[in-house]
Amino acid sequence: MQTRPEIIQRECDTGNHVLPDNMHPVLRRVYMARGVAAVTEIENTLSHMLDYSSLKDIEVATRLLAQHIEQDCRILVIGDYDADGATSCALAMKVMRAMGAQNVSYLVPNRFDYGYGLTPEIVDVARSYQPELIITVDNGIASFEGVERAHQYGIKVLITDHHLPAASLPAADAIVNPNQPGDAFKSKNLAGVGVVFYLMTALRASLRDSGWFAKTNRVIPNLAEYLDLVALGTIADVVKLDHNNRILVAQGLARIRAGLACPGIQALLTLAGRDYRQVTSMDMGFFVGPRLNAAGRLDDMRVGIECLLAESETVALEKARVLDQFNRERRQIEQEMREQASTQLDRLMSVSEADQLPTAICLYDESFHEGVIGILAGRIKEQTHRPTVVFARADNGMLKGSARSIPGLHIRDALDRLATTHPEMLQKFGGHAMAAGLSIQAKHFSAFGQLFSEMVRELVDEDALQKVIHSDGALDSQDLSLQVAEILRDAGPWGQGFPQPVFDGRFKLLQRRIVGNDHLKMVLNVEGKYVDAIAFRTTDEDWPETVDEVKLVYRLDVNEFNGQRTAQLVVEYVEPVTD
């Protein structure tokens, strides 16, 4: 079931900008609709990157880490099992080794055995490594018990994280998180890998100033060489691409296009069939990120981290092939789960008095795979435009849930409110505004669903439940060209908070056919000009037999086939016009 959206054109403040006169009018319009008022806001050079000095406790953290490196102490990096966690771990390992850390290793929890974060159980495992310092990456801000357990063993803890903290913080020896109270860093949107990059930047400066590199006869590492990892983790974690994050991503993509990516990223691009010379943030988000994430979803993220750490093309390709197979299996599992979820959604609508979906959606089936429920929740949220929680069975009578939200509802705050009013309901939870994880007892599933729907009804206006597509307006026929498509592609990086341009319009439909089982291929006529369009995961099964015109929301993209490059409309919403 696909909800019909309301299409709203983005507003442009045409009088409040200083953009070049020679900028293409379509691009100028797109930038203004995203609040860009000056050229400096789209200059993605490293000189415009925020300085690390405003991060709270960065000096404490740097001093702690530098001391352990200089004293040749054992350091253990504890990561997370998603792409942000994997890139964060690989980045920390590579840079610390380049700076002279001799005894650094990593441990990543298996989600099925240990769950998320620095738990006491994973600290018990970490103890066998005999670390003197644990560094968490992309986790730790909620690990109160884990930090306490580490201290009981005499292990110091440095937390690097970007998730929102609770009212209090763990008693770690140092915390670097732009979202902790009292932090003055202007960008609150760093991914976990971005936080690690800033810590490594501060560490390099500290070691340089102390004479460490000269004393050990080491070359001071160029941290720009690692921005491919930062770009991948930032894109894959779908954090807001504010100007600072756009700089990190743009510089990382530039290195990849120049053939300077690490062997692991290059191998993943190769298996995904993407040309590294033309790579975009969309490629990293839709083709590379999912392959890396698949390891943590189905098995163990270690193979993903080893792929990123690989120094030879042969080893990297070997690891990437394993990841690619995991991704194929993940897609099959997801398809089966989507079919089961569709049945449950139909059932929900059948019991509704108005034949409508409830305010929020909570789904559970014994067959649901714990590693894939986040993807399923996101798919259902996109399909129905409802806050969605999908649960899978865990051990000891528990269910693990993954939540996805819609604009207007801060999902973590909503869960926090529910936990306050019904403390018996949630065992634990955490996350962001748009995504969260939680655990409940299986016996509370029905009650949770009802309470969650009631809370969403209180917090969200009825208008917020109407799906909205923000469009950059219509394009003239002369702008449906390869030149404009290339201009828009190269003007990014586009992503969360700085969305890729989308346009809308009505078109004469000349041809339509299904390709690849579930993709709708169309040929359109625009003022006598033929234009190809494709709508992925879309069919025309419920269309009238004869359709002469369609209403589209689309991206103008570059299609490369048999050495030919043409403009193509990548359709995000299609509706047959029957009036």
Mean pLDDT of 471-489: 95
The mean predicted confidence, pLDDT, of the chain is 93
pLDDT at site 164: 87
CATH number at residue 226: 3.90.1640.30
Among residues 209, 239, 260, which one ends one of the domains?
260
Render pLDDT for 160-192 as a digit per residue (tens, 0 to 9): 999 989 889 999 999 999 999 999 999 999 999
pLDDT at site 396: 87
Among residues 235, 260, 285, which one ends one of the domains?
260
241 and 129 within one domain:
yes
The answer on pLDDT for 361 being more than 60 is: yes
Say how far apart CA 180 and CA 167 lie, in whole Å.
10
The structural domain count of the chain equals: 3
519 and 444 within one domain:
no
pLDDT at site 351: 59
Say how far apart CA 339 and CA 345 lie, in whole Å.
10
518 and 412 within one domain:
no
60 and 124 within one domain:
yes
Secondary structure percentages of the chain, helix, strand, coil, to 5: 45, 20, 35
The answer on pLDDT for 371 being more than 70 is: yes
- Where residue 567 falls among pLDDT bands split at 50, 70, 90? very high
129 and 250 within one domain:
yes
The answer on pLDDT for 86 being more than 70 is: yes
Render pLDDT for 204-221 as a digit per residue (tens, 0 to 9): 999 999 999 999 999 999
Classify the phi-psi angles of 130: left when phi > 0, otherwise alpha if psi is within -120 to 50, otherwise beta: left
Mean pLDDT of 79-83: 91
CATH number at residue 368: 3.10.310.30
423 and 522 within one domain:
no
CA angle 37, 570, 29 (to 5 degrees): 20
Please report whether residue 338 resides in a domain.
Answer: no
141 and 192 within one domain:
yes
461 and 489 within one domain:
no
526 and 426 within one domain:
no
Please report whether residue 538 resides in a domain.
Answer: yes
Please report whether residue 324 resides in a domain.
Answer: no
129 and 100 within one domain:
yes
Whole-model pTM: value is 0.90
CATH number at residue 559: 2.40.50.460
Is 493 strand, coil or helix? coil
Bridging pattern class, strands 503-515 and 549-561: antiparallel
Say how far apart CA 229 and CA 93 lie, in whole Å.
12
Mean pLDDT of 282-297: 94
pLDDT at site 265: 98
Please report whether residue 281 resides in a domain.
Answer: no
pLDDT at site 3: 63
Among residues 214, 232, 260, which one ends one of the domains?
260
213 and 113 within one domain:
yes
Expressed as residue numbers, the domain containing 444 is 354-466
